[in-house]
Amino acid sequence: MEIKGQFPKHRFVFLTLPNYSMIALSSAVEALRMANRVTKQDVYEWSLASLDGNPVAASNGLTLSPVISVDKMGPANIVFVCGGVNVEHAVTSDLLSALRRLAQRHVSLGSLCTGGYALAKAGLLDKYKAVIHWENMSALQEEFPRVIFSDQLFAIDRDRYTCTGGIAPLDLMLNIIKDHLGRDIAPMISEQFILDRIRNDQDRQHIPLQARVGLFHENLIEAAALMEANIEEPLSLDEIAALVGVSRRQIERLFKRYVGQVPTKYYLDMRLRRARELLLQTAMSVMEIAVACGFQSPPHFSKCYRNMFGHTPSAERQISRRNTLGTTLVAA
């Protein structure tokens, strides 16, 4: 297909935080590179930035260059904050000040993977619809109640462009490219990357069991999704079966055959994993976490937690704090 006409140029800056996700960053950048290739124009420019202008290591230990200082980056259409593991340790007062200065200059801001944590911490996602990696979402919903968190792959709300991790930034960029260059370019990029389709902002980033059992077991996936959506007030198995439109016995057979667990055990494990996320990522009390995960009896919660993870909730938190302190001392 011949591309006619000149497209307006856009420039993106990717502000890398320590331990950022390399796959998330490269997925975003590669979409821009391929857009330039298929249009045979330098439509997009991109730069890597850090707080001080020095390269920072990604979570895989690799570093990329060249890198510029965020204060010297020049004009940009969107600045994306690129996060990864242990993002809370990467968010400093200097970073928050830099992000607020960008917002005051009316620079559009975005995030990849867990970079949304920095924007939320700076107060720049209040009353915005936003997305962050699903492993961090439950904790951040508790910490930042003014942010409208979504389980979508990405969210575009006014001048905020937030995205989960993995290869989802590729989908975000393809949608941005479609809005910028028209509907013909994004499919050409998708074909080059051998994508079967371009996902949009209605696609969910995490569908329980889908990767494990495939797309063809709709009743099983729907049952698991109902469980995930009802953590604080768990549904009974009879209620789940009625909502899915099958018998309780059929739900039990599906879980036993394809998951290797009875549904009640799968549901309990899901609630306990959510509890562990809150325990390690928030300052909520053990009692608050127990209630948030559907346990009315703290002793019962503690017993179930120890059976699954080998420690009581209180012991787990103490171990995590000691490990974090040790890492901080070693880094110092």
Tens digit of each residue's pLDDT, the chain (332 residues):
556 668 889 999 999 999 999 999 999 999 999 999 999 999 999 999 999 999 999 999 999 999 999 999 999 999 999 999 889 899 999 999 999 999 999 999 999 999 999 999 999 999 999 998 888 887 888 889 999 998 889 999 999 999 999 999 999 999 999 999 988 899 999 999 988 888 888 787 765 666 555 555 788 888 988 998 899 999 999 999 999 999 999 999 989 888 888 999 999 999 999 899 888 878 889 999 999 999 989 999 999 999 999 989 999 888 877 765 454 433 33
Whether the CB-CB separation of 111 and 118 falls below 8 Å is answered with yes
pLDDT of residue 331: 38
Whether the CB-CB separation of 19 and 33 falls below 8 Å is answered with no
Spatial distance between the Cα atoms of 26 and 59, rounded to a whole number of angstroms: 13
DSSP 124-144: -STTSEE---HHHHHHHHHH-
Taking the whole predicted model, whether its pTM rises above 0.75 is answered as no
What is the gyration radius of the CA atoms in the chain, in angstroms? Answer: 22
> Which domains are present in the chain?
10-192 (3.40.50.880), 210-323 (1.10.10.60)
| Positive/negative CA dihedral, 18, 62, 82, 163 | negative
Token pair in block for residue 145: 């109640």
Token pair in block for residue 20: 């950022």
Report how far apart, in Å, the C-alpha atoms of 138 and of each of 153, 249, 271, 273, 278 are: 15, 31, 12, 11, 7
Whether the CB-CB separation of 209 and 255 falls below 8 Å is answered with no
pLDDT of residue 215: 52
Burial of 309 (C-beta count, 10 Å sphere; 0-12/13-18/19+)? middle
